[in-house]
Amino acid sequence: MNPQATETGVRQLGHFVGGRWIDSKSQSFQDVTNPATGVLLARVPLGGADDVAAAVLAAREAYPAWRATPPAMRVRPMFKLKQLLEEHFDDLARTVTREHGKTVDEARGSVRRGVDNVERACGIPSLLMGEALEDVGQNVDCEAVRQPLGVYAAICPFNFPAMVPLWFLPYAIACGNTFILKPSEQVPLSAALLIDLVQQAGFPAGVVNLVNGGRAAVDAILDHPDIKGVSFVGSSPVAQHVYRRGAEHGKRVQALGGAKNFVVVMPDANMDHAAEAVAESAYGNAGERCLAGSVVLAVGAAAEPLRDRLIAQSRNYRVGDGMDPKTEMGPLISKPHRDRVVGYIGKGVEAGAELVVDGRPVVAQMPQGNFLGATFFDHVETQMQIAQEEIFGPVLCMIRVPDLDAAIAIMRAHPLANATSIFTTNGKHARQFRYNVDASMIGVNIGVAAPMAFFPFGGAKGSFFGDTKAHGMDAIGFYTDKKVVISRWV
Ligand code: NAD
């Protein structure tokens, strides 16, 4: 089981290397606090190159035997992991809430999405099958088989502490690779629990490893010559850095970045449904979601009825500790991040947007945590900072546009393109929208277009660096190489 309390009674985390938890070689630690209460939960080591090197060594040593284990045997501990995740489902969801702040319901939803990937990876014997064709020439046959490559690493963000690691870990190892997880240093506890379950599931030592840390650990992963590929999820500037530096060292990289997601509401939409879905998209997970719809583009006559409904929705969000079942919106991850979001509200006011619902009074009303209320701006202009930059908090901006073409033009001009949605009852509008937007996760009358485990997850333009996305069949492509064998037997 993962570590030990210190003399002060605070749990001090380590790294998981070669099948056991070990102390960090780095003496640098960061506090992990509950964002709803400010209570200190643990101290996480900020691992460096030595810690990464130890994990790579363990993963490299475990690789030959794991790779040679038949896929049908490799999935046995995977089935066990799935069972353990079900048994510890609530514990995991509560750990997510405790360290991240989202409501327990939201946490459960995200853990379910993570477990879906474990379930899917249990089918790896079928997913890994290659292709074959007899008689590509006279007496010549050809086949393509998929092979693992070696050691992979995944670097994760703070906003989905259990789900995002599970986008990668199950597929990487089911394909026969060995793996190093680098969780966000802001939320290391869910990953530690996941690793405890991996250990109980019976994967051989060294197949899955974990290094805690921040920037230094990331750069050590990117520079290490024995890591073949890196999966990354986080903000766009870091995604781009990971993509560049990983590629410089000859690695495969899939880097999922940040977002500024636009939601279009047509005048023909069902307004009640649209307003409810837009509010949930903007304020769910306190807006800390790469799929959050943070700018609503109200087309023509949609604006007034939508405004009224969004005001009602925004005022109704009950803010509190995510552990309380009555809470609808938890705190933000940290005080500096909360202050950054509050700063954006000030910038919106300064730029002349109409602040219709102001969530800032919540800051003083609930000083124990990093709380902020739902905030709604109307009459936002496209060039304003609040309309252009990822805020990653519960702030919804409404821009009024004359028609669908104008809405699409705003989206196409934006450098990020992760997800988008349209609300309409008109199939022609829906088709024009899906055909022309750049974002690659699209909702039609859906506020949060989150692809399930069996579909690829990832955006476009500055929201994604690479070519193969997370989960879906892309995961199998990312974690394997295709080897083609051409044979003649005469
Ligand atoms: P972040 O970029 O700050 O951190 C992500 C990871 O990178 C962490 O593990 C962190 O330790 C590491 N890191 C941070 N700064 C670094 C640096 N300068 N050099 C090297 N490594 C560094 O992101 P975050 O704040 O943890 O997560 C929120 C961001 O993630 C948002 O932008 C959100 O849109 C994005 N996100 C995207 C998706 C997606 O599917 N595209 C999903 C979830 C989150």
| Reduced 3-state DSSP string for 472-490 | HHHHHHHCCEEEEEEEECC
Q: Is 234 in the pocket of ligand 1 (CB under 6 A)?
A: yes
Residue 234 Cα to ligand 1 middle (Å): 2
Q: CB under 8 Å to 485, separation ≥6 — which residues?
A: 142, 143, 144, 145
Residue 233 Cα to ligand 1 middle (Å): 6
Q: What is the pTM assigned to this prediction? A: 0.97
Q: CB atoms < 10 A from the CB of 336, how many? A: 9
Integer Cα distance of 196 and 193 in angstroms: 5
Catalytic residue check, 175:
no
User: Using CA positions, which residue lies closest to atom 36 of ligand 1?
Assistant: 234
Q: Kindly tell me if the per-residue pLDDT of 1 is higher than 90.
A: no
Tell which residue, 316, 288, 310, has the closest CA to residue 373.
316
Q: Cα 420 vs. chain centroid, distance in angstroms?
A: 16
Q: Kindly tell me if the per-residue pLDDT of 215 is higher than 60.
A: yes
| Ligand 1 atom nearest 457 alpha carbon | 40
| Interval 117-141 mean pLDDT | 97
Bridge partner residues of 334 (DSSP) = none
pLDDT tens, residue by residue, 303-326: 999 999 999 999 999 999 999 999
SS3 321: coil
Q: What is the pLDDT of residue 104?
A: 98
| Ligand 1 atom nearest 235 alpha carbon | 32
| Interval 431-446 mean pLDDT | 98
Using pLDDT thresholds of 50, 70 and 90, give the confidence band for residue 5: very low
| Interval 70-91 mean pLDDT | 98
Integer Cα distance of 374 and 394 in angstroms: 5
Using pLDDT thresholds of 50, 70 and 90, give the confidence band for residue 8: low
pLDDT tens, residue by residue, 366-399: 999 999 999 999 999 999 999 999 999 999 999 9
Helices and strands (H, E) in the chain, number of each type: 17, 23
Q: CB under 8 Å to 45, separation ≥6 — which residues?
A: 12, 13, 14, 15, 23, 24, 26, 28, 29, 51, 212, 213
Q: Kindly tell me if the per-residue pLDDT of 255 is higher than 80.
A: yes
| Interval 102-119 mean pLDDT | 98
Q: Is 259 in the pocket of ligand 1 (CB under 6 A)?
A: yes
Using pLDDT thresholds of 50, 70 and 90, give the confidence band for residue 490: confident
DSSP β-ladder status, 40-45 and 11-12: parallel
Q: What is the pLDDT of residue 112?
A: 98
Instruction: Provide the percentage of residues in the chain whose pLDDT is more than 90.
Output: 98
Record the tokens describing residue 85, joined without a space: 């995740």
User: Using CA positions, which residue lies closest to atom 30 of ligand 1?
Assistant: 234
pLDDT tens, residue by residue, 22-44: 999 999 999 999 999 999 999 99
SS3 125: helix
User: Using CA positions, which residue lies closest to atom 21 of ligand 1?
Assistant: 215
Using pLDDT thresholds of 50, 70 and 90, give the confidence band for residue 340: very high
| Ligand 1 atom nearest 184 alpha carbon | 9
